[in-house]
């Protein structure tokens, strides 16, 4: 099924021939992202959807998020270096050619196919006819016979390229082409190129493209081959590779430049400013989603795709790429305010309307079209009106000379103007006059957003919350008091009447009637510049990009309390992001601040200003033509043993019962937007939400039969379940076998019966001896019971002990905490300790080394804790310490000493030098305020949040979260970890040893 899904890429998903290369979305991966080596020499996608990457050192399998190296250690000694040619056969297998033969790649397995003896370097691979694999070498043509390459004719011919074209096989040799159909072979010479080596062949309809070290050749139909040189450099330089996309373009690579030949004959040389300098693309191919992959000798791996964005730059005539404001010109064009004046885009070109020198300040900061002829231009130095091509100062705007104009909001009755020096209103009778003088003070004097209700009433977003203006009266609505001290950067009334307020750093506030709730932790970022609604979605531009969420997922303030709103799952996903593939959505630099004209919605096109031009985002194209992800269970890992999912059921019959399942979903357009649920049938009662994590961990599994399943859903809610569940059997230990317990019980009963029978026989003759015998049998029964109790006690200890480190496990903590809290009624300190960058240990040294690090680190923590403290392995590389009897004023010194003691910690992994690692600590006290002692698990959420902050602050540090000055006697309530920002803001909690941050830190992998 996988192979069928990957036969061709749909033309609907292909790169559009109408787009400029600079408008494609370009992603780049390097060694820093996990590639084995910088030079990418071969690429292909297998029938399961994985992209295989061949580099000079080894090959790797890529799922859009993780590169999984297949080097000698992984392949059992097979050399996977220098893979220089690639091919995907009809059965979905990927073939790479290297200097010792060919490599066959599929799922979790690499197989080497080579000639007998010393082997022979393979230079080209194809399949002709279907099912017969052919290999071009410097010694002639070879084919696969079992696991060996054997000669298939053309002995002694140096074959550098092969391509099958239906019934025809094309063979590229030195100075000539061979055309084979059936049993007939015809030789075609390259005129003037007798010694010319053919390195690549590409059949495209009636055309055969021929790559050589001295330029590109073309055989068009029955015409003889001839040089193809519309540009001189294509006739002089070596052609590195050729490929086509299903949009109709031919891609041609030389070391200095990449070229694109469109189906209409237009040849584009991709400039350095559009791509990279000297890209040296060795290989390219189009995957099932229409992505174009490019493997570079110097810049590693690229992916180009259509994306959602069309850019307006200096190439279109934009004088200054630093854009602030956008406005519809009413005639099918767009007015563009830049740092150097006012421009207009229409019919694909940009022209300057007002140079910056003609304005009070060159930067056009805000635009508002009042009618067909009049345009108000807000600058950082005053206000101007442009009408019929002429500039003037609006009546009353003389008072604004030298003042920054932040927002202009016209209505039918008046024009509202927000400045950095208060609010103004312009009417036909009175001109521009101040509103609410004296009512806007301090930070509130700087107006950032406006939502007019009519000519007399307006909602005003300031740098100190929100105000309501009615005529000359200015007030703060009760529901807006939560916004005091926050910059309100945008305001929007949704079609259903819901009011949305965006803030600089406090998320979104939703208002219905007199009730307001705050959305914060469930959002991708706390910053919101502008708000726009389109096609049942709310779009939010921010300092990190553009994200959206379904309107139907927004909670109703009239029925949702504040606690439920915090961290509410609203289905937000990135459309554009600065981090690009490291989050989700397309990578793009966006967006420039908050004001009415910082976003322009025209139909389904959202125009956004940026420091590098204008971005036009096609909102209607989001999700269109998306392909269904291919979901796979990859493997289970127990200790250092990896069990691939296609290797059959996994049986655990030893002491190790801690295992990890790895899974993935292959969707290269937005891989980090994928969300996963997994379930171990026979153990989990329901599906477990893994978020974007692609691994599941189980510890101390009981004996039984299980089945691991996984399903994935994309950002549009489409859910797909993996078709390859992994079956698992856990054999019982000797002490868990029910027959042993039954035998012990039966044996005891038999002893008792035997004693009774023997006693009855001897009762008449020897009463005294009978009593002695009964006592003896009773003692034996008691000893049997004691042994059974001891065995049960051993089982209890095993179930509460971490097998790797010997420390108590999570279950033991839950068992021992009530006694710990009773022993220390004044409270305890809960600390979570996490090893920094532990994932790199497993990746670079192997899981056995990772186990050594965990054991040694556990020994260090044992030495660092006192008698009476509770130390346990909490999971993975994370440990928990419960300190009893530790005074509050001594905690900081204790945490600092723990970190300092760890600085001398080295791990001997058998390498040349010992490995040095650091760790981070997050802690809190329990209880806080009137919180019940039994709610200690909720306090762990605070320690967990402190640990995240320690990680985000650079690691190798500690952060505490303790009672603040306004903690009082009230309890924190359930799940305080979801309300940390609110509790800190109220002064009920406070951070210890925390570096200040503008926005909250998003969750990340702890081992990263």
In contact, 29 and 36? CB cutoff 8 Å: no
Q: How many CA atoms are closer than 13 Å to the CA of 344, on its beta-carbon side? A: 12
**Can you spell out the DSSP letters for 323-359?**
EEEEEE-SSS-EEEEETTEEEEEETTEEEEEEEGGGS
Crossing angle of the two packed helices 767-799 and 738-761, in degrees rounded to 10: 170
Element (H, E) at 463: none
* Rounded distance between C-alpha atoms, residue 55 and residue 96, angstroms: 11
Bridge partners of residue 419, in order along the sequence: 405, 422
Neighbours of 206 (CB within 10 A): 11
Show the beta-strand stretches assigned E in 682-742: 688-691, 695-698, 704-713, 719-721, 726-730
What are the helix (H) ranges across 475-546?
none
**629: helix, strand or coil:** coil
Q: Is the Cβ–Cβ distance between 703 and 731 less than 8 Å? A: yes
Burial class (CB in 10 A: 0-12, 13-18, 19+), 219: buried
Cross-strand pairs, 179: 170, 186
Class of residue 392 by CB neighbours under 10 A (exposed 0-12, middle 13-18, buried 19+):
exposed
> Whole-angstrom Cα distance, residue 527 to residue 511?
18
Q: For this structure, is 463 an active site residue?
A: no
DSSP classification of residue 194:
T
Residue 712 contacts residue 629 (beta carbons within 8 Å): yes
555, two tokens? 């909670």
Annotated active-site residue in 877, 888, 982, 1005: 877
Residue in this structure with the two tokens 């305001």, named with its chain if needed: 491
Q: Helices 847-864 and 891-902 sit at what angle, rounded to 10 degrees? A: 140
Integer angstrom CA distances of residue 396 from 385, 429, 431, 436:
12, 11, 5, 16
Q: What is the CA radius of gyration of the chain?
A: 36
Q: Which DSSP state fits 670?
A: S
CB under 8 Å to 839, separation ≥6 — which residues? Answer: 1005, 1007, 1008
Contact 39, 298 (CB under 8 A): yes
**Is the distance from CB of 499 to CB of 511 less than 8 angstroms?**
yes
Give the C-alpha separation, 813 to 69, whole Å.
38
Q: What are phi and psi of 242, to 5 degrees?
A: -140, 145
Those residues with Cβ within 8 angstroms of residue 862's Cβ, 6 or more apart along the chain or in another chain: 807, 871
Q: Whole-angstrom Cα distance, residue 312 to residue 337?
A: 13
Q: With 0-12 CB in 10 A as exposed, 13-18 as middle and 19+ as buried, what is 232? A: exposed
HSE toward the beta carbon, residue 217, CA cutoff 13 A: 26
What's the order of all strands across the beta sheet hosting 499-503?
Answer: 488-493, 499-503, 508-512, 515-519
Answer for the pair 382, 397: CB distance below 8 angstroms, yes or no: yes
Q: Is 805 helix (H, G, I), strand (E, B) or coil?
A: coil
Q: Assess whether the previous peptide bond of 985 is cis (omega < 30° from 0).
A: no
Order of strands across the sheet with 919-926? Answer: 870-875, 878-884, 828-835, 919-926, 958-963, 989-992
Length of the chain: 1008
Q: What is the set of active-site residues?
A: 877
């Amino acid at each position: 099924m996988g192979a069928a899904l990957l036969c061709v890429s749909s033309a609907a998903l292909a790169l559009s021939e109408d787009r400029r290369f600079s408008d494609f979305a370009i992603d780049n991966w390097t060694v820093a992202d996990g590639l084995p080596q910088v030079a990418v020499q071969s690429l292909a996608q297998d029938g399961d959807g994985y992209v295989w990457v061949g580099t000079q050192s080894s090959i790797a399998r890529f799922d859009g998020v993780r590169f999984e190296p297949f080097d000698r250690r992984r392949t059992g000694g097979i050399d996977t270096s220098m893979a220089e040619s690639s091919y995907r056969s009809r059965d979905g297998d990927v073939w790479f050619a290297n200097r010792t033969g060919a490599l066959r790649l599929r799922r979790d397995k690499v197989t080497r196919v080579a000639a007998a003896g010393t082997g022979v370097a393979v230079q080209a691979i194809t399949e002709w006819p279907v099912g017969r694999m052919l290999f071009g070498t410097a010694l002639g043509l070879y084919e696969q016979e079992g696991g060996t390459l054997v000669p298939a004719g053309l002995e002694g011919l140096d074959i550098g390229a092969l391509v099958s074209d239906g019934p025809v096989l094309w063979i590229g040799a030195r100075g000539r082409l061979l055309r084979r159909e059936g049993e007939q072979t015809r030789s075609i010479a390259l005129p003037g190129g007798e010694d010319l080596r053919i390195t690549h062949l590409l059949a495209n309809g009636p055309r055969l493209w021929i790559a050589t070290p001295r330029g590109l050749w073309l055989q068009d139909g029955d015409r003889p081959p001839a040089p193809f040189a519309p540009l001189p450099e294509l006739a002089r330089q070596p052609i590195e590779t050729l490929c086509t996309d299903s949009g109709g373009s031919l891609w041609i690579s030389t070391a200095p430049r990449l070229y694109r030949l469109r189906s209409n004959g237009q040849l584009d040389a991709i400039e350095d400013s559009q791509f990279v300098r000297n890209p040296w693309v060795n290989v390219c191919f189009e995957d099932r989603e229409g992505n174009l992959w490019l493997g570079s000798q110097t810049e590693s791996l690229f992916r180009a795709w259509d994306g959602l964005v069309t850019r307006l730059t200096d190439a279109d005539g934009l004088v200054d790429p630093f854009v602030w404001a956008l406005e519809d010109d009413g005639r099918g064009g767009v007015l563009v305010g830049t740092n150097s004046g006012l421009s207009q885009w229409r019919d694909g070109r940009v022209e300057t309307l007002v140079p910056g020198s003609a304005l009070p300040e060159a930067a056009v900061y805000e635009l508002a079209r009042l009618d067909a002829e009049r345009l108000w231009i807000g600058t950082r130095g005053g206000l101007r009106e442009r009408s019929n091509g002429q500039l003037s100062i609006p009546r009353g705007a003389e008072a604004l000379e030298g003042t920054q104009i932040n927002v202009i909001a016209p209505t039918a009755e008046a024009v509202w103007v927000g400045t950095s020096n208060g609010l103004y209103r312009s009417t036909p009778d009175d001109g521009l006059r101040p509103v609410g003088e004296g009512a806007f003070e301090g930070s509130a004097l700087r107006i950032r957003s406006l939502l007019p209700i009519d000519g007399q009433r307006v909602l005003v977003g300031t740098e100190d919350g929100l105000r309501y203006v009615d005529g000359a009266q200015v007030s703060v609505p009760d529901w807006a008091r939560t916004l005091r001290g926050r910059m309100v950067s945008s305001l929007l009334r949704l079609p259903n009447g819901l009011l949305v307020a965006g803030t600089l750093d406090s998320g979104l506030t939703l208002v219905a009637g007199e009730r307001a709730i705050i959305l914060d932790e469930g959002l991708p970022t706390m910053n919101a510049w502008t708000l726009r609604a389109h096609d049942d979605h709310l779009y939010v531009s921010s300092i990190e990009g553009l994200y959206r969420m379904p309107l139907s997922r927004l909670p109703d303030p009239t029925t949702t309390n504040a606690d439920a709103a915090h961290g509410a799952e609203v289905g937000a996903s990135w459309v554009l992001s600065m981090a690009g593939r490291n989050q989700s959505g397309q990578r793009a630099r966006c967006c420039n601040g908050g004001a009415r004209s910082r976003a322009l919605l025209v139909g389904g096109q959202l125009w956004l200003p940026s420091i590098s031009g204008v971005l036009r985002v096609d909102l209607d194209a989001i999700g269109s033509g998306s392909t269904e992800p291919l979901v796979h269970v990859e493997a289970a890992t127990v200790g250092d043993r990896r069990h691939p999912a296609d290797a059959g059921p996994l049986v655990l019959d030893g002491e190790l019962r801690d295992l990890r399942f790895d899974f993935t979903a292959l969707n290269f357009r937005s891989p980090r937007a994928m969300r996963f649920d997994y379930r171990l049938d026979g153990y989990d009662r329901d599906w477990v939400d893994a978020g974007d994590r692609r691994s599941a961990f189980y510890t101390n599994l009981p004996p039984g039969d299980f089945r691991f399943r996984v399903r994935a859903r994309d950002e549009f809610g489409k859910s797909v379940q993996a078709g390859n569940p992994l079956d698992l059997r856990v054999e019982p230990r000797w002490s868990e076998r029910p027959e042993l317990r039954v035998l012990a019980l039966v044996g005891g009963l038999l002893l008792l019966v035997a004693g009774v029978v023997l006693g009855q026989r001897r009762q008449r003759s020897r009463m005294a001896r009978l009593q002695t015998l009964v006592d003896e049998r009773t003692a034996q029964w008691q000893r049997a019971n004691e042994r059974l109790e001891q065995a049960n006690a051993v089982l209890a200890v095993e179930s509460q002990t971490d097998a790797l480190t010997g420390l108590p496990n999570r279950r033991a903590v839950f068992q021992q905490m009530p006694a710990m809290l009773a022993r220390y009624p004044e409270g305890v300190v809960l600390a979570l300790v996490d090893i920094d960058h532990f994932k790199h240990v497993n990746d670079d040294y192997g899981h056995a080394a990772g186990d050594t690090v965990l054991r040694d680190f556990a020994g260090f923590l044992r030495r660092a804790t006192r008698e009476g403290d509770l130390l346990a392995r909490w999971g993975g590389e994370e440990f928990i310490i419960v300190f009893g009897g530790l005074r509050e004023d001594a905690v900081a010194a204790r945490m600092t000493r723990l970190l300092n003691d760890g600085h001398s910690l080295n791990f001997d992994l058998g390498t040349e030098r010992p490995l040095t690692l650091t760790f981070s600590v997050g802690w809190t006290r329990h209880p806080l305020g009137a919180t019940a002692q039994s709610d200690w698990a909720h306090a762990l959420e605070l320690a967990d949040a402190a640990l995240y902050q320690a990680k985000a602050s650079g690691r190798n540090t500690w952060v505490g979260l303790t009672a603040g000055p306004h903690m009082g006697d009230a309890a924190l309530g359930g799940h305080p970890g979801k309300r940390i920002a609110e509790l800190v803001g109220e002064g009920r909690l406070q951070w210890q040893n925390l570096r200040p941050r503008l926005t909250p830190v998003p969750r990340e992998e702890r081992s990263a």
